Structure 1
Amino acid sequence: MKRIALALAALTLSAPLYAQNVATVNGKAITQKSVDQFVSLLVTQGATDSPQLREQVKQELITREVLLQAAEKAGVAKQPEVQTELDLTRQGILVRALQADFLKKNPVTDAQVQAEYNKLKAEQGNQQEYKVRHILVEDEKLANDLTAQLTGKKAKFEDLAKKNSKDPGSAERGGELGWAPASNYVQPFAQAVTALKKGEISAKPVQTQFGWHVIQVEDARPVEFPPLDQVRPQIEEMLRQQAFTTYRNGLREKAKVQ
């Protein structure tokens, strides 16, 4: 009875040590820690920790170890191109880790986000957006003829656009481009849009790299700036990138490069 008790005690003591390895491949151990780290990485990418995921990770690590051993046996790690790729991969991992460490130690604050939001809102607060229609044709003569028909009220803009416009994206909608700031358009199309008043049609066709445009501005309004909560993630990411770029440039300036 005493020997059985001692044997059970021995199994109890050795169990945690044995549990550290989930498998061995040709004598090479795959540890529980490796599985946990792999699972944690997948969870950060959106996966859900579960027994099924852990089993998949275990099998993946076994397959990788089999292939790794085969690669080492074949000597592929000694090939110059493989060494270069390994070095570049290592560099990339370390740079990403450095960036993550820097951003963790230098988080973006609410005050910084608010200040940047106020700045962007002030810069773009006076922007206008326009509801535009256009007719795109290849020939200037046809463009002038269409303009004359419109200014003489001999035809409707929508009808002429459907019949003549070469822009497949808007022709079926009667030339309608929807609401957009003038900056969305190429020059001199954008310049013509900002010069037209509500309801006006361009007095002369406007030429761009796409052809000749007859333009009508149906309406105009101030651009509605989105609330802070809606754009916070984009602002935070922009500020993080700016902060790391400043840090990176500072390191470059201090480095002794010959």
Structure 2
Amino acid sequence: MKLTTGALIATLAFGLIQPAFAAGSAGNLATVNGKPIKQSLYDFIAKEASARGQTVDDNVKNVIINKLIGSELVYQEAQRTGLDKQPDYQAKEELARRELLVNSFLQDYVKKHPVSDADVKLAYEKYKQELGDKEYSARHILVGTEAEAKDIIAQLGKGGDFAKLAKEKSKDPGSQEKGGDLGWFAPAGMVKPFSEAVAKLQKGKYTTTPVQTQFGWHVIKLEDTRATQPPAFDEVKEGLQKQLQQRNLEKLLTDLRAKAKIEGPAGAAAPAAAPAAK
């Protein structure tokens, strides 16, 4: 949960209400029915607005104050009706406080443990290596059984049209209507058995033995190859930086788990992905 001005002063049905209110005492912006509205709330909202480039002039100040007052009025009414005592509300409040603290900690952790430019450049070099030096353009036909794949290979051997057979028989919704066309891809973008089979093919040839992956059985035809054209560093820098930050957070969670004594359901101690800093 990201703490925003809107989360603090949700736009209410009152519009710019202007009820009479008492002047605040030291440290308070105002009081409503004897209850103080802290000056610190206004200061925080104004600071966030300024950080977004908004000029906090007298008009904006009045808007913030009036919305805080409106929020306080509804807050008091909700307390009067006992809404804050209901179990569902209390559970939501606890979860919201927990999430706010967790995200604040993660943001602070990322800030104090920045990913260096050197690490991002190393990740880029590894990324280029994983792409390999070749890209492939291929078609495939995905079916559920080896027998179906062998039957398709037999039909191709008798002069069957690959694209037509793909439209008729392939179970891959992403390529079926395109005659099995997968476009250009790097080996790293495909599961290993598939990419290995493609790498062994000559241009214009298809696999004469069905290729099995976790998705089913494939018949693959290589259309063309070309030298890999990796994206420029600046195009992927931000994405790589976020990946490295996420890995740092996952390591943090792993380390915390390793030091913790966790009791409960059997699955509770299993490793989990770290939440991303918001």
Check whether TM > 0.5: yes
Q: Residue deviations 1:113-151, cap 9 Å, x none?
A: 2233334434x1536432111234568777555434533
The verdict on how the C-alpha distance between 1:166 and 1:245 changes in structure 2, with shifts beyond 3 A counting, is closer
Q: Distance in 1 between matches of 2:36 and 2:204?
A: 76
Q: How far does the alpha carbon of each residue in 1:200-226 deviate from its partner, in whole angstroms, 9 at most, with x for none?
A: 111144466766543211123454332
> Are 1:95 and 2:102 counterparts?
yes
Q: Counterparts of 1:236-251 in structure 2 under 5 Å?
A: 236-251=241-256
Write the distance in 2 (CA, Å) between the matches of 1:186 and 1:55: 59
Instruction: Note if 1:105 corresponds to 2:112.
Output: yes
1:51-89 residue CA offsets vs partner (Å, 9 max, x unmatched)? 787676555434432221122222333344433432332
Q: Give the number of the structure whose residues are more often helix, by fraction.
A: 1
* More divergent stretch after superposition (230-239 vs 139-148): 139-148
Change in 2 beyond 3 A, CA 1:249/1:196: same
Q: Is the 8 A contact 1:188 1:206 kept in 2?
A: yes
Query: Would the alpha carbon gap of residues 116 and 43 (structure 1) be closer, same or farther in structure 2, given more than 3 Å must change?
Result: farther
Question: What is the match of residue 9 of structure 1?
Answer: none
- 8 Å CA contact 1:149–1:155 kept in 2: the answer is yes
Q: How many angstroms apart in 2 are the aligned matches of 1:245 and 1:172? A: 40
Measured after TM superposition, the shift of residue 165 of structure 1 is 4.4
Between 1:157-166 and 1:98-107, the stretch displaced more is 157-166
How do 1:161-172 residues align onto structure 2 when only pairs under 5 Å count?
Answer: 161-162=166-167, 165=170, 167-172=172-177
Gaps of 5+ in 1: 1-14
The yes-or-no answer on 1:70 pairing with 2:84 is: no
1:126 aligns with 2:132: yes
Q: Does 1:177 align with 2:182?
A: yes
Give the equivalent residue in structure 1 for 2:232.
227
What's the secondary structure of 2:206's corresponding residue?
coil
Give the direction of change, closer, same or farther, for the CA distance of 1:115–1:79 in structure 2 (3 Å limit).
same
Judged with a 3 Å threshold, the aligned counterparts in structure 2 of structure 1 residues 170 and 239 are, in CA distance, closer, same or farther, namely closer
Per the normalisation by structure 2, the TM-score is: 0.63
Assess if the C-alpha contact under 8 Å between 1:39 and 1:49 holds in 2. no
The correspondence for 1:147, drawn from 143, 153, 167, is 153
Secondary structure at the counterpart of residue 223 of structure 2 = strand
**Identity rate, percent:** 40
Distance 1:69 1:140, change over 3 A: same
Gap regions ≥5 residues in structure 2: 1-22, 264-278
**One-letter amino acid of the counterpart of residue 133, structure 1:** R
Change (3 A) 1:78 1:39: same
